[in-house]
Structure 1
Amino acid sequence: MRTKHLILILIGVIFATIVFIAVGPAGEPNDSFKNIVVQTHQQLKEFQENLRVGLERKKLEIDAKYLVLLGFTASKDGSPQQQQKELQQNHQQLPQTDLPAPATKAELELSDLRRQHAQEAGANAQQTDDQEREKEMGQHRRITTPYNGTKSNFTIVTYVQEGQAPSAILLAQNIAVKLPGEHLLIYDLGVSEEQLKALNAYCNISRCAVITYDLSEFPSFVADQRTHAYRPIVIKDALLRARSVLFVENYMRMRGGYHELQELQSRGMVAGVLGWNTATAVSSLTHPKMFDFFESDAEDFIFLRMVDLDVVFFVDNLFVTEKIMLPWLKCCLTQECIDPIGAQSNGCKFNKKPLYRYSGCHGYDASAFNIVLGLTWRWDYSKYSLPSDDAKNMFYKETLEQATRILESRRRNSSETSDHPFTED
């Protein structure tokens, strides 16, 4: 807003100067006025240059070590021919008429990171030894290096933080009832030893696993629960472990079963990403300064429906890695992008007219996610999302208070079927 006012003032000064020269006394020297005009033009050019430099500084550039930790490396072959072959194979999975152009810059970055990844092999070996010693001492091993083992075909993924164990436990039970043949990964992002033991007690089957993930390797702001900058980190690590993942918040529950899941997977495999959109515009829940980092304008997103991150399906392919995950993570690992000055998560004013105006509430990682999706699919949200109020939506929310009450009731052996909807048809 201040920028627009300054431009208008400069234009007004230029216009007034020209008029004054035109109507001034004939024959009087006007060299001083000419100098004013020249200086004003020079100041305007300097101002425009400062604006250009300011925008250039808002490029998403992060430390390469974070990309290595997140598994952004080239193929094991490493040759350009193999990388190009993989890129073409993954592009064939999507409709060619809808597929955006390949991210050339991302490809170059990933190629450079391959060499750095090889250099860290020795350090990783030492780290593995340290982790084994910790395991022998009875300490829970914390994950700090990218997974490179055998991938599963499909995995359901969630995370848990301190105080959220009841929700995660009931989600594990919900999945065991509705989808007993599917794997569930629960990322521990800092729960107490007591809650971790309780969680492991309920997640003690071969198809359920708790992964204690170490966020301390990333910038400190990543662990902020307000920004949720850790969500894309969890999703990216899970995509190293499975060919496709269904990310769900631990407070979500399933009312459907395999039939609904198969429909979701079939639709999600086409786009690579599939979520549920809301009636709220992306521009309404995104701080204007975030758009600068993506070299975009808020006005382009006034009709783009916001996709929430309660439940999202992801496919592990180069298209998703380069076009979705890489720019999303770059923003979430850049504090000025994920958390612009003045951003807040409460005090929303949705009664502003028009409704797509910024509400005063910022969506942080969800806002960055939606900007990336909008730019990738040219603002056509039907390509990567379904309406959240659709009858086929197989998920619903259960608050932490409800989960705690239900869990305590079960522990007292006094629970009833009506206490928990997921056991009902």
Structure 2
Amino acid sequence: MRTKHLILILIGVIIATLVFIVFGPAGEPNDSFKHIVVQTHQQLKEFQENLRVGLERKKLELDPKYLLLLGFTSPLSTKDDASQQPAESGKQKQVQTDVPVTSKRELQQQQLMAGRGQAAEQELLLLQQVEQKSQRKRITTPYNNTKSNFTIVSYVQEGQVSSVILLAQNIAAKLPNESLLIYDLGVSEEQLRSLNACCNSSRCTVITYDLSEFPSFVSDQRTHAYRPIVIKDALMRSKSILFLENCMRIRGSYRDLQQLQNRALVAGVLGWNTPTAVSSRTHPKMFDYFESDAENFIFLRMVDLDVVFFADTLFVTEKIMLPWLKCALTMECIDPIGAQSNGCKFNKKPLYRYSGCHGYDASAFNIVLGLTWHLDDTKYSLSSDGTKENLFYKETLEQAIKILESRRRNNSDTSDHPFTED
């Protein structure tokens, strides 16, 4: 009770003091009140300045080391970045980073050989085994050899091998003369052996790509920030690519695919749009990083990334891949605070309002496309009016596992797998 009385008395004293400060003696200038006004005005100015600085910090930048890993060696590609390094400097940097590792390894070997007998030899053998194992974990260096004309590209993560095996079989059956490039993003040794056993022809290649050189959030399956990395690396290996999620299957003919490929070579990017507005599937904070606003995208249809054609042109590299990768490698851009991948509410009116469900890399991709083509989706996408379903279809991971298990049991029933059906 005493504590309550003391608190009430203290509150009364504070209120009386504030009243005295504000009103003060009649007819006398109130310096305290003026001081409060001045301080408040200064704080407001500081808040506005901090807000302005905060917005400026939302400009996308990319660390030069990531530019080199992704093959951006042209001064044109890095003109917006603080440091511009040509291809030669990138190679020099790579050599310089490799030298200390080699020197350290040689030093360890010399120390071990100078050790005591059999124990030293066993330790050296163990060191070599660890090095051989770590070679698989090394990131793929930028590709600069001869490019193929066209490649189908996908990726596989832990637990998805069944799906990508069926994709490889689907491509071999429908498009036997086309190359398939599969990016291993961290499957186990056992699953990798299973994949290599299936992908054992000259038309099928598995590349182990280690994402650990990039920020840790890039590997998050929720954000899919690794997809633009895979696509950029594939574009260094081929003049044009068809990127497929490993759950997608082809049912169209080679002629259909070739027509789309020719159109993609002209446009640079070609996908299929959906009825959903970009503003409905994009967290409002992502637009700040592209110096735009959600209201500009309320009538722009969103292109999904299940099936997309890309051409390796300077236009695509500079205008599409570079800004897309800058966002994908900036956590606050690709994954704004409050973003989530589920809980979509598309019944909100108007329908272009943010649904509460963020598209992460797909959202960034669509913002870049919209800004590049001035919000005209006919320049880079086709309408999903049934043409996509005539050419492609989706097979869930659960279906893929079931199909492979049936085949292992020598089950001849093919009704579970419709890709052989016309």
User: TM-score, normalization: structure 2?
Assistant: 0.81
Note if 1:120 corresponds to 2:88.
no
Aligned to 1:396: 393
Structure 1 residue 166 displacement after superposition? 0.5
Give the whole-Å Cα distance in 2 for the aligned partners of 1:310 and 1:295: 27
Structure 1 residue 147 displacement after superposition? 1.4
Q: What letter matches 2:188 in structure 1?
A: S
Q: Say which SS state the counterpart of residue 241 (structure 2) adopts.
A: strand
In the alignment, structure 2 segments of 5+ residues that lack a partner are 1-26, 106-127
Give the whole-Å Cα distance in 2 for the aligned partners of 1:387 and 1:109: 40
CA contact (8 A) 2:281 2:355 kept: yes
Structure 1 residue 194 displacement after superposition? 1.0
Give the whole-Å Cα distance in 2 for the aligned partners of 1:162 and 1:44: 51
Aligned to 2:242: 246
Aligned to 2:12: none
Aligned to 1:141: 136
Q: Tell me whether 47-56 or 227-236 shows the greater mean CA deviation.
A: 47-56
Q: What letter matches 1:343 in structure 2?
A: A
Structure 1 residue 105 displacement after superposition? 3.6
CA contact (8 A) 1:260 1:392 kept: no
Alignment partner of 1:421 out of 410, 414, 418: 418
Give the whole-Å Cα distance in 1 for the aligned partners of 2:234 and 2:354: 33
Aligned to 1:87: none
Give the whole-Å Cα distance in 2 for the aligned partners of 1:389 and 1:142: 43
CA contact (8 A) 1:347 1:360 kept: yes
Give the whole-Å Cα distance in 2 for the aligned partners of 1:127 and 1:253: 46
Note if 1:156 corresponds to 2:152.
yes
Note if 1:334 corresponds to 2:307.
no
- Provide closer, same or farther for how the CA distance between residues 136 and 62 of structure 1 changes in structure 2, counting only shifts above 3 A: closer
Once the two structures are superposed, what CA deviation does each residue of 1:95-134 show, in whole Å capped at 9, x if it has no partner? Answer: xxxxxxxx8945x77953535403224247659989xx77
Alignment partner of 1:274 out of 270, 288, 291: 270
- Provide closer, same or farther for how the CA distance between residues 300 and 127 of structure 1 changes in structure 2, counting only shifts above 3 A: farther
CA contact (8 A) 1:135 1:141 kept: no
Structure 1 residue 193 displacement after superposition? 1.0
Note if 1:59 corresponds to 2:62.
no
- Provide closer, same or farther for how the CA distance between residues 121 and 34 of structure 1 changes in structure 2, counting only shifts above 3 A: closer
User: What's the % identity of the aligned pairs?
Assistant: 75
Q: Say which SS state the counterpart of residue 417 (structure 1) adopts.
A: coil
CA contact (8 A) 1:281 1:356 kept: yes
Q: What letter matches 2:341 in structure 1?
A: S
Q: Say which SS state the counterpart of residue 153 (structure 1) adopts.
A: coil
Aligned to 2:319: 323
Note if 1:222 corresponds to 2:195.
no
Q: Say which SS state the counterpart of residue 176 (structure 1) adopts.
A: helix
Structure 1 residue 29 displacement after superposition? 9.2
Q: Say which SS state the counterpart of residue 152 (structure 1) adopts.
A: coil
Give the whole-Å Cα distance in 1 for the aligned partners of 2:168 and 2:278: 32
Give the whole-Å Cα distance in 2 for the aligned partners of 1:338 and 1:328: 10
CA contact (8 A) 1:152 1:243 kept: yes
Give the whole-Å Cα distance in 2 for the aligned partners of 1:206 and 1:41: 71
Once the two structures are superposed, what CA deviation does each residue of 1:142-165 show, in whole Å capped at 9, x if it has no partner? Answer: 452111221111100000001100
Superposition RMSD in Å: 2.7
Give the whole-Å Cα distance in 1 for the aligned partners of 2:361 and 2:94: 31
In the alignment, structure 1 segments of 5+ residues that lack a partner are 1-27, 75-79, 84-102
Aligned to 1:18: none
Aligned to 2:166: 170
- Provide closer, same or farther for how the CA distance between residues 62 and 414 of structure 1 changes in structure 2, counting only shifts above 3 A: same
The aligned runs of 1:7-26 (5 Å cut-off) are none
Structure 1 residue 411 displacement after superposition? 1.6
CA contact (8 A) 2:64 2:83 kept: no
Larger radius of gyration: 2
- Provide closer, same or farther for how the CA distance between residues 385 and 165 of structure 1 changes in structure 2, counting only shifts above 3 A: same
Aligned to 2:123: none
CA contact (8 A) 1:239 1:245 kept: yes
Q: Say which SS state the counterpart of residue 419 (structure 1) adopts.
A: coil
CA contact (8 A) 2:272 2:388 kept: no
Q: Say which SS state the counterpart of residue 54 (structure 1) adopts.
A: helix
Once the two structures are superposed, what CA deviation does each residue of 1:298-329 show, in whole Å capped at 9, x if it has no partner? Answer: 10011111111101111111110010000100
- Provide closer, same or farther for how the CA distance between residues 121 and 391 of structure 1 changes in structure 2, counting only shifts above 3 A: closer
Q: Say which SS state the counterpart of residue 155 (structure 2) adopts.
A: strand
Q: What letter matches 1:192 in structure 2?
A: S
CA contact (8 A) 1:134 1:140 kept: no
Aligned to 1:205: 201
Q: What letter matches 2:285 in structure 1?
A: K
Q: Say which SS state the counterpart of residue 407 (structure 1) adopts.
A: helix
> What number of residue pairs does the alignment pair up?
369
CA contact (8 A) 1:64 1:113 kept: no
Structure 1 residue 389 displacement after superposition? 3.1
CA contact (8 A) 1:188 1:212 kept: yes
Structure 1 residue 50 displacement after superposition? 2.6
The aligned runs of 1:250-399 (5 Å cut-off) are 250-393=246-389, 394-399=391-396
- Provide closer, same or farther for how the CA distance between residues 62 and 399 of structure 1 changes in structure 2, counting only shifts above 3 A: same
Give the whole-Å Cα distance in 1 for the aligned partners of 2:324 and 2:173: 33
Give the whole-Å Cα distance in 2 for the aligned partners of 1:67 and 1:137: 27
CA contact (8 A) 2:219 2:226 kept: yes
Give the whole-Å Cα distance in 1 for the aligned partners of 2:82 and 2:57: 19
CA contact (8 A) 2:71 2:142 kept: yes
